[in-house]
Amino acid sequence: MSIPAVALRGLCVLPKMAINFDVVRERSKEAVQAAMLSDQKIFLVTQRSDDIEVPEQKDIYEIGVIANIKQMVKLPGGQLRVLAIGRKAARVTSMDTTGKYILVDVEEIETGIPEDTDEVTREAMLRVMMDELKLYLQNNKEMGKEIIRGLKQIKDIEELMGIAPIHMPFSLEEKQQILETIDFSERYALIMQLLTRENEVRRIRADLQTKVRARVDKNQKEYVLREQMKVIREELGDDPLSDADMLEEKINALNAEEPVKEHLSKELSRYRMMNGAAAEAAVQRNYLDTMLSLPWNNETEDREDLQVAKQILDRDHYGLEKVKERVLEYLAVRSVTGKGDATILCLVGPPGTGKTSIAKSIAESLNKKYVRICLGGVRDEAEIRGHRRTYIGSMPGRFVNALTQAGVNNPVMLLDELDKLGSDYKGDPSSALLEVLDGEQNSQFRDHYVEVPVDLSNVLFIATANDAHGIPAPLLDRLEMIEVNSYTENEKLHIANDFLIGKQMKKNGLKEGALSISTGALKKIIHHYTREAGVRNLERKIGDICRKAVKEQIDKGRKSTRVTEQNLEKYLGREKIFFDPVNEEDQIGVVRGLAWTAVGGDTLEIEAVTMPGNGKIQLTGKMGEVMKESAQIALSYARTLSDEYGLEDGYFETHDIHLHIPEGAVPKDGPSAGITMTTAIASVLSGKPVKANLAMTGEVTLTGRVLMIGGLKEKLLAAGMAGITNVLVPEKNKPDVDEMSAEITKGLNITYVSSMDQVLEAALMK
């Protein structure tokens, strides 16, 4: 059958469906007029896309509807309004678009119920679909009563399947799917599926509307009651805005997650019920104030300019190149990933080397808030996790307080003196710190006082310590250690000139040019008035000079003061510190060792003598347990040299050995004096003097192997200050020496040793 066709945009016509549509395109108008001039039959088919003006066969669906045009009205502008009723579904077999209108060949499709379907099946299908329709009609009062009455009066399943989709709010695609489903059973299943889904959507929508309405009613009721309470307070002359009302406004304005706000609202409700004069009310009020002062979601935006960070670090610190490089690497990773990795930087070094100020510079370079938590002497776990909110005087832990102090949730938080943590019967603070410093856990940090999770994952933690050995092993595993070593004399000189003098002059009210300190005077201050790894005491001495200069200028009316090497004693008094000079002559049993202390390096002169006795070894000089063990090992190794030194049998049973380290009142300990003690004992046993201009450091084993040691930079600096030129260093410490600047090793003849044979050969005179 050939028939004129109209391609519909955004419409799908079903059999038995009456539809009004406007015709705009010329080809469609021609098709309608051609149909009106013949038998008023027209084929209505849906376009796949609305954007196509001249559709081809591939642009329309395969199945449409043969319809009868009941009415055609011409509208202003040349449009046609057509009333048509769908009659029969048909499939397009061919399509001709060469004429004035679209002409298609179609074949009708039989979609009726199979003849072999029994009456029971028909009735069952009818009742099931009617039940779903009735449920839909009950919840859909906007449908016309005539439509509802007509649907309920249908008694044939085939008729109901034709009428129901017409009045249901199915989408165009769903209606087209129904039209293209030829098999009666499949079409029935599809209609039932769509109808059931529509009823479920309606049910869920009704539930949601009921819940929203109930919530609105509750809020409206609360609003009315609150307004009444305000009127009552005004009548009584009370403040119309109560304390609880102000807290409620703050909670509503709080920049926090909904669970936090809900928790605070519950706590506020409890506060409203309390007697204002009761102690519990004060505890509750303090809790609400603490929670409202936390930053929650408030944060600052990081600055990611590494050049600015480098300029700030160079501006605030001289030297420390490796430390600066590692910090810049850390900041570079943060700028790329948005967050640093879980590793926490820990700056380890002697006092006064600038560890705390490095953390301040990192905060400034990132444009972050800076807050410091001092952990020295903290023994109570509640200092970390807070006190439970069960008594008056309870308070949150230091980390929650630090966040409150910073005002943002992503500050730089300095954990100062991490190695000074203690522990007692109240708990172990270092164990509580494990959660704080774990990047996988601290996003849900639980403070006993706050009770809700606090996110610490945005905090940039930086720790400082003087000695890594004082940090508990599990906590040490969370940290990346960065050594901040002692400054050389030259570095101290630059720091004094570039930073300390100007800082102290400003602090003591001296204008530029009012004070000058010569290079020789600074060197003398560094060498003979301060003995430290950092520059803290050096700054104090410069401050002393500044204060005396101010007093002198006021008393004598001077405009400027110049401090030189010659008049330095006038301002600082006599020299306070003297380094043991190099021994003038080679001596038997006297060996110079190198030691690391908390304030830098030092030289220790170890003395040994033998005397008739009964084979004892006597140790003096207030040695620690480690040094005592080293002395025992040294003696045992020396006894293996009996034959080499020609000692008679039974020598060690008839002689005592006494080892002494001068300055006995000063405690001494550390695993680096083994080869020094062994050399001293070997010297007295062999009668060979030890070279005077020689110092050594290293630990020894029973078999004579020399083990590597730490703190080598400080030890070499101490050797240089004492005027020693020859130093024995363990072979395994050679990489450490290679990394040192030439300023440290300048003037030192370093010999690497791996066994005691090499040590004795280099140390003892032939």
**pLDDT per position as a tens digit, 489-547:** 777 888 888 888 888 988 988 888 888 889 888 888 888 888 777 888 888 999 999 99
Angle at 193 between CA 188 and CA 199, to 5 degrees: 125
**Tokens in use for 296?**
């929650």
Confidence of residue 240 (pLDDT cuts 50, 70, 90): very low
CB 28 within 8 A of CB 100: no
Least confident of 76-90, 226-240, 578-592: 226-240
Cβ neighbours, 10 Å, residue 700: 25
| pLDDT above 80 (res 397) | yes
Angle at 593 between CA 623 and CA 599, to 5 degrees: 70
| Residue position matching structure tokens 């669906």 | 61
**Tokens in use for 21?**
């549509």
- Please say if 715 is a catalytic residue: yes
251/294 Cα distance (integer angstroms): 12
| pLDDT above 60 (res 239) | no
- Residue by residue, DSSP assigns 490-537 as HHHHHHIIIIIHHHHHHHTTPPTTSEEE-HHHHHHHHHHT---SSSHH
| Residue position matching structure tokens 């009315």 | 224
103/106 Cα distance (integer angstroms): 10
3-state secondary structure of 290: helix
Which are the contacts of 718, defined by CB distance < 8 A and separation ≥ 6? 579, 594, 595, 600, 601, 602, 603
3-state secondary structure of 279: helix
573/578 Cα distance (integer angstroms): 14
Which are the contacts of 542, defined by CB distance < 8 A and separation ≥ 6? 496, 500, 501, 504, 517, 525
Average pLDDT value for the chain: 84
CB 423 within 8 A of CB 378: no
| pLDDT above 70 (res 700) | yes
Cβ neighbours, 10 Å, residue 219: 10
195/160 Cα distance (integer angstroms): 13
| Residue position matching structure tokens 């936090």 | 260
472/481 Cα distance (integer angstroms): 13
| pLDDT above 70 (res 11) | yes
| Domains, the chain | 2-108 (2.30.130.40), 119-199 (1.20.58.1480), 241-293 (no CATH), 306-483 (3.40.50.300), 489-572 (1.10.8.60), 590-763 (3.30.230.10)
- Please say if 430 is a catalytic residue: no
Cβ neighbours, 10 Å, residue 500: 21
Q: What is the pLDDT of residues 111-163, one digit of tens each?
A: 778 877 788 888 888 888 888 888 887 777 666 566 666 766 777 787 778 78
Task: Please choose, from the candidates 94, 46, 710, the residue with its C-alpha nearest in 3D space to the C-alpha of residue 348.
Answer: 710
**Tokens in use for 137?**
């009609």
Cβ neighbours, 10 Å, residue 734: 12
Side-chain-facing half-sphere of 353: CA atoms under 13 Å: 26
87/19 Cα distance (integer angstroms): 12
More confident residue, 225 or 433: 433
**Tokens in use for 58?**
């591939």
Of 28, 630, 672, 683, which one is the catalytic site residue?
Answer: 672
Confidence of residue 394 (pLDDT cuts 50, 70, 90): confident
118, 119, 122, 125: CA torsion to nearest 10: -100
Give phi and psi for 32, each to the nearest 5.
-65, -45
Buried residues in 466-490 as b, exposed as e (16+ CB within 10 A): bebeebbeebbebbeebbbbbbbee
**Tokens in use for 359?**
């953390």
144 burial (CB, 10 Å; 0-12 / 13-18 / 19+) is exposed
Q: In the prediction, which pLDDT does 242 show?
A: 66
Mean pLDDT throughout 397-408? 90
More confident residue, 145 or 104: 104
Confidence of residue 56 (pLDDT cuts 50, 70, 90): confident
Q: What is the pLDDT of residues 584-629, one digit of tens each?
A: 788 888 998 888 776 667 788 889 999 988 888 888 888 888 888 8
620/723 Cα distance (integer angstroms): 26
More confident residue, 648 or 404: 404
Q: In the prediction, which pLDDT does 79 show?
A: 87
Q: What is the pLDDT of residues 353-364, one digit of tens each?
A: 888 888 888 888
CB 596 within 8 A of CB 485: no
226/221 Cα distance (integer angstroms): 9
CB 351 within 8 A of CB 411: no
Least confident of 14-23, 127-136, 235-244, 478-487: 235-244
Q: In the prediction, which pLDDT does 371 show?
A: 93
Confidence of residue 752 (pLDDT cuts 50, 70, 90): very high
More confident residue, 567 or 489: 567
Rounded to two decimals, the pTM is: 0.60
Mean pLDDT throughout 54-58? 85
Q: In the prediction, which pLDDT does 326 show?
A: 81
